[in-house]
Chain A
């Protein structure tokens, strides 16, 4: 039996680590990375302004995906964006409501919001009771319907790791006329946000957005690292496709996991 298996995956992991080291070097040299505008992210500021004019709160439910498994990335990206949104709400003097079904997530969300409101000198606008906990995916839908009925948020921002509740949330928001900005890395439910929301972040844009709002250069440089890595994968895909079409099917054995 060979000493190492899944060789290709190991090679790609090492390649990623090498690219990350290169990226860190660029960050230390102060290299500025241009990240294109993400319309959904820009829309947050406009949407919060309209919420302030209407005198209604902003609602940021984070997705029902589990905390501590493959969807943790999306939830962490959501935390950065909650912090960003809370900063804009604090600046404009608007309340931000949160929602989650993951109880360990409540203190993280509370801290992200509190930090932003305190930094803008408006700590009185935030209270932990602004973060609503729901016992399950379906209770989340029912509870959000209640929030829209009693508190009537003007804006609903749903950027995180969303599952099947996405459609119901989009529909509840659309019926009440709220401005909706959504995005998920969970691919089966991306189409709901694209079809129903006013602005949608597609797939990995939620990770790019969390890097975009970070002021840390080394975080922004990871976007460049990701692009380099993707180009390498595209290169392998094109070369592999050409070779396989030409009849060199042995290449499949090299790239098999």
Chain B
């Protein structure tokens, strides 16, 4: 479908693409079944493995999952009830944990930014320039010094992307090769042990 313009090919390609997006959603059900298999025995046996009071955390997980699923099924995901649940429980916790990474970043910056060699200087100095360029006030401060904004934009537009284009090509190659290895049955890492030992030629 990507290469041929024949209307029939395009039509059936579009149909299959729609089916595949449905198929990917059903993987969620697989995940739910795996979770039930994982947590329900722990609740039943009042398990203390792997951490103390594991059964309580498993019970909590399953209860919250049940609340969201039942609410979504009865009231619908666009209902105000479901939205209240989501906005009151899930979003603040997610936002909070996402915000934690800012604090981790600060201590990482203080510990990791060291200039020991020429290479590390070449890494750290542009990083400091971009750190300023990235913010409105910092960009304003950089503009005070002649040429600094242009230097920051040069790093951002030419040197950084050039390196990333190399990464994109290399990672794309790696992904393609791995995918073709999988299609031809050469990649066996994801197969169960019995199937992995069967030679595929």
A–B touch (CB < 8 A): the answer is yes
- Count chain B residues whose beta carbon lies closer than 8 angstroms to a beta carbon of A: 57
**What's the Cα separation between A108 and B191 when bound, in Å?**
7
Chain A interfacial residues counted at CB < 8 A: 80
Smallest beta-carbon distance B38→chain A, Å: 6
Bound form: Cα–Cα A129–B57 in Å = 14
B94 to chain A: which residues have CB within 8 Å?
Answer: 136, 138
Q: How far is the CB of A235 from chain B (nearest CB, A)?
A: 12
B30→A104 contact, CB < 8 A: yes
- Asked if A178 is an interface residue, CB under 8 A from chain B, the answer is no
Q: Tell me the interface secondary structure of chain B in the complex.
A: helix
Closest to B169 in A: A233
Query: Which residues of chain A are near B112, meaning CB under 8 Å?
Result: 195-196
* A106 pairs with B38, CB closer than 8 A: yes
> By the criterion CB–CB under 8 Å, are B177 and A104 in contact?
no
Partner of A204, one of B96, B171, B182: B171
Of A108, A114, A170, the residue contacting B108 (CB under 8 A) is A170
Say whether B121 faces chain A, with CB atoms less than 8 Å apart: no
Q: Specify which chain A residues have a CB less than 8 angstroms from the CB of B176 in the assembled complex.
A: 16
Could you tell me the distance in whole angstroms from the C-beta of B27 to the nearest C-beta in chain A? 6
Contact of A219 among B31, B175, B187 (CB under 8 A): B187
- Complex Cα spacing A208 to B179, Å: 13
The answer, yes or no, to whether B83 is at the interface (CB within 8 Å) is: no
**Can you offer 27 A-B residue contacts whose CB atoms are under 8 A?**
A1-B5, A3-B6, A4-B3, A5-B5, A6-B3, A20-B184, A73-B179, A76-B178, A79-B190, A104-B27, A108-B190, A111-B192, A129-B47, A150-B51, A150-B52, A164-B98, A168-B100, A168-B101, A171-B104, A187-B167, A196-B108, A203-B170, A207-B177, A216-B186, A222-B180, A226-B174, A233-B169
Other A-B contacts than A68-B24, A174-B111, 18 sampled, CB-CB below 8 A, are: A4-B5, A5-B2, A73-B174, A73-B179, A74-B175, A76-B182, A106-B34, A111-B192, A129-B47, A135-B61, A150-B52, A164-B98, A167-B108, A171-B104, A172-B104, A192-B108, A207-B177, A214-B189
Residues of A participating in the B interface, judged by any CB pair closer than 8 Å: 1-7, 9-10, 16-17, 20, 67-70, 72-74, 76-77, 79-80, 83, 102-104, 106-108, 111-112, 114-115, 118, 127-130, 132-133, 135-136, 138-139, 141-142, 146, 150-151, 164-165, 167-168, 170-172, 174, 185, 187, 190, 192, 195-196, 203-204, 206-208, 210, 214, 216, 218-219, 222, 225-226, 229-230, 233
